[in-house]
Amino acid sequence: MRIYVDMDNVLVDFRSALRKRGLAENTPDADDIDGIFSEMDPMPGAIEAYRQMVADGHDVFILSTAPWDNPSAWSDKLQWVKKYLGDVAKKRLILSHHKYLLRGDILIDDRRKRGAGAFHGKHIHFGPTGDCIDWAAVLKEIDEVT
pLDDT tens profile 59-101: 999 999 899 999 999 999 999 999 999 999 999 999 998 898 8
Residue 43 has pLDDT above 70, yes or no: yes
In angstroms, the Cα distances linking 102 to 39, 47, 95, 118 are: 28, 23, 11, 10
Contact 5, 61 (CB under 8 A): yes
Residue 112 has pLDDT above 70, yes or no: no
pTM, to two decimals: 0.93
- Say what the pLDDT of residue 119 is: 85
Compute the mean pLDDT over every residue in the chain, rounded to the nearest whole number: 92
Assess whether 6 carries a catalytic annotation: yes
In angstroms, the Cα distances linking 26 to 8, 15, 31, 133 are: 15, 9, 11, 21
* Count of CA atoms in the C-beta half-sphere (13 A) of 24: 4
Contact 70, 32 (CB under 8 A): yes
- Say what the pLDDT of residue 8 is: 92
pLDDT tens profile 127-136: 988 889 999 9
- Say what the pLDDT of residue 145 is: 84
Residue 113 has pLDDT above 70, yes or no: no
Residue 19 has pLDDT above 70, yes or no: yes
